[in-house]
Amino acid sequence: MQWKRLTTHQIQFLLLLVIFSGAGLAYALIPPMLEKPDEDGHYGYILYLREHRTLPPLMFQPGWASEYKQPPLYYLVAAVLTGWLPGEPVPERLLVTNPYADRSVPGQRNDNRNVFLHPPHWTPLFLGARLVSLVMGIGVVLLTYCLTRLLEPRDHSLAIAAAAIAGFQPQFLYMATAVNNDIAITLLSTATVTLLVYRVTRRLSGLPFCFLLGSILGLAILTKASGLLLWLCAGMALLGMNWGNWRRASGEIAGVFTMALLIGGWWYIRNGLLYGDPLTLQVHVAGYQERHRTLADLWNYDIPAIERTFWANLSRLFVSPTPLDDILIWWGRISLLLGGIAILWSRRLPRSKRFLAGILLGWPGAYWIALLGFWSARAPWAYGRLLLPAIAPLALLLALGWRWVLHKLRAPLFFPIMIGVLVVSGILVPLVSLYPLYHPSSPWRPGKDAEGPGIIYTEVSTGQPIARLMKVRLLQPYARPGTYVPIEVCWEPLGQTSVPLPMFVHLLDLTPTAWGASPALWGNRETYPGLGSHPTDRWPLHAPFCDKVLVWVFPDAPAPLCASVEVGFVNQDSVRLQAETSDGHPLGLPVAGKVPILRDIPSPSWAERPAYVLDGRIGLRHIEALGSWDSVTITVTWQALQSIPYDAITFFHLTDQAGNLLAQQDQQPLAGRFPTSCWLPGQVVTDVVTFSSVPVQGEDMVLLVGMYTWPSIQRLPVMDTEGMSVPDNAIPVTLVPKELGLP
């Protein structure tokens, strides 16, 4: 027996399948388990079949979300193919839902996108179920290649292009490695359209055709209720094939649908007899109210949501797109436009070709109408992934569009380049989109990350150390009221808790207040460490990591304000873990950093050097004094010339001409609300001080202004505009009572 040598195009297609399989492994391994759409329910279905060896009840059960409303074929196949793998606990015992996942920060992609707390990121049984889906995805790519070869047997590159467009569309790769029956119905849908095209191009008919098509349609309705759309598409195609010969048309349709009912009809009869819901539509839309949409709603919400979740949104939740996502969305728009042009051009083709084009258009058209007109109207499910059953005809139409325009442009090399770019994009998505989405934390870098407060958090009842706070760092210069401010929080896990504990980050105003008053809270965020990927009940011990936590700054927060950052944990009884210093002394407030809260940093128009410069870091721009009766109000304007590593205290000494002290006031800027360590380079700070009951005797007074550090009480050195030191490091200002309005 002699083996036939593979052609160059066949080798290219096999290489494409190998690359697809490798990319599929990345899509299967990188997203944690249950994080793809509805995987918890689909996975629970498989576990139910493995454990009970019978069909589950149709209605929802208390506790874990289920997909028991779905037809059973996909789950039976997955349960059988993974039957050799060891069992594992039901999902609710394996993972805990993340209560903060639905409170995602608007406009921020990598924040609380884990619907469940991890690890485990996957288990052998769950990964096996994802690989079962990957095998089905390989089948879709193979059938897309065969479909194109049937239509264009001489154009091998077109077949490879269509297979690449279908296979490396990121949403397809994402769902082709998910525990979800969407990929199974996509495989059967692709098989249906391929068999119909084979019927036209190869003249297959009679009992073999009816048996094959009926079997596929029966398996389709045993996979998903949307498989009934294939009956409509197939019925219309059979009518067109037998146009004018109604006897043969009715015979084929009856034979096909009878076979389909024999295979898949029992599921719907069962549901009708037991639950009065043959199509399970009542269960699907339970809890949702039908939406009353306008054309504006369709255009502004439904259509963009479908487009986005078909080309780009690789997440169970809606996430902001990456630049690569935007490129893929625009690639899809341009490809659809070119495909439409190619279809219009096909009017010049023979009738048989136009008929085949109609079959291809029927698939995406039917699923588009069903999604836009039915599902998205009855539930908030404007999910583009529900169009995946039409991916093969759609990919072929897009490939035809690109071939048409490239033929017109006479750019033969651009075709393989375009396909190569698509393949590379599909491979890059797990690295630039999926991995950062579910693994937002970064490891601690010894030698690069300087250690910070070193606060230890311990269980109140047992004294067991749970975590050490390594560092708190503001990731932008300042925060604005009514926005999220990113703060890096680094932890070293020291112990594990019995249940996951949320961490909190507070922005406090610790300005001295009335006796017994609590610090004002002006910012808050509560989440899990690692945003769900490092919960305290399972985080790896002594493996430090860093989080980026987005903290909401209240819109009515005062500005400017130097807010103190308080970080801690709360246990299941709403009791905070005890915060201690590294040597075991308890802390009242575990403050670990500061955040300047500002409306803005105005750009001053001054070009000249400040009149006085303190320590080379702080410039004195202006002093103004006003008096009324027996009080004097001093307004002083400072400017930060560079960052200031300390909190300086400003002193104001009012003396007479002989140097006798009349009044004195020492304070941090803005009464302690905005110390100098929070000043940003270039920032202008205006402070106001009032002296009351000033003993005025009609003579000039001298105001001495300067700063010193605490507790050394060492005054900051002061230089004038000529670079000369000012005596006693105190800036003198003469105050004339009459100019102040004093008697």
* 167 vs 587, more confident: 167
Higher-pLDDT residue of 360, 686: 686
Q: Which residues, including other chains, have CB under 8 Å from residue 101's CB and lie 6 or more apart?
A: 112, 113, 114, 115, 317, 532
Q: Is the pLDDT of residue 644 over 80?
A: yes
Token representation of residue 583 = 């040597």
User: The tokens of 739 are what?
Assistant: 């100019």
CA–CA separation, 89 and 73 (whole Å): 23
- Is the pLDDT at 456 greater than 80? The verdict is yes
Domains 455-597 and 612-740 share a fold: yes
Write down the pLDDT at residue 514. 42
- Quick: pLDDT tens for 77-113: 999 999 888 877 666 667 888 888 866 676 777 788 8
pTM equals 0.85
From 452, 447, 532, select the one nearest 491 (Cα to Cα).
452
Measured over the CA atoms of residue 440, residue 441, residue 445 and residue 449, the dihedral's sign is: positive
- The fold of 612-740 is Immunoglobulin-like (2.60.40)
Residue 681: what residue type? P
Is the pLDDT at 63 greater than 70? The verdict is: no
pLDDT at 139 over 80: yes
Query: What does CATH list as the number for 455-597?
Result: 2.60.40.770
Q: Highest-confidence range of 43-57, 119-133, 622-636, 692-706, by mean pLDDT?
A: 119-133
- What SS3 class is residue 456? strand
Domain ranges across the chain = 8-108+125-436, 455-597, 612-740
Taking 90 as the threshold, does the pLDDT of residue 711 lie above it? no
Lowest mean pLDDT among 180-189, 306-315, 343-352, 619-628: 343-352
Please report the pLDDT score of residue 1 as a whole number.
41
CB burial readout 319-350, b (16+ within 10 A) else e: bebbebbeebbebbeebbebbeebbeebeeee
- List the single range of 151-155, 263-267, 598-602 with lowest mean pLDDT: 598-602
Task: Give yes or no for a contact between 402 and 415, defined as CB atoms under 8 angstroms apart.
Answer: yes
The answer to whether residue 652 scores a pLDDT higher than 50 is: yes
Using CB atoms within 10 A of its CB, is residue 365 exposed (0-12), middle (13-18) or buried (19+)?
Answer: middle
Residue type at position 122: W
Using an 8 Å Cβ cutoff, are 457 and 430 in contact?
A: no
Phi-psi region of 718 (alpha: psi -120 to 50; beta: other; left: phi over 0): beta
> What is residue 662's predicted lDDT score, i.e. its pLDDT?
83
- Confidence (pLDDT) at 544: 92
Give the whole-angstrom CA distance, residue 295 versus residue 299.
Answer: 6
What percent of the chain shows pLDDT beyond 90? 34
Q: What is the mean pLDDT of residues 705-726?
A: 89
From the list 179, 226, 177, the residue with the least C-alpha distance to 47 is 179
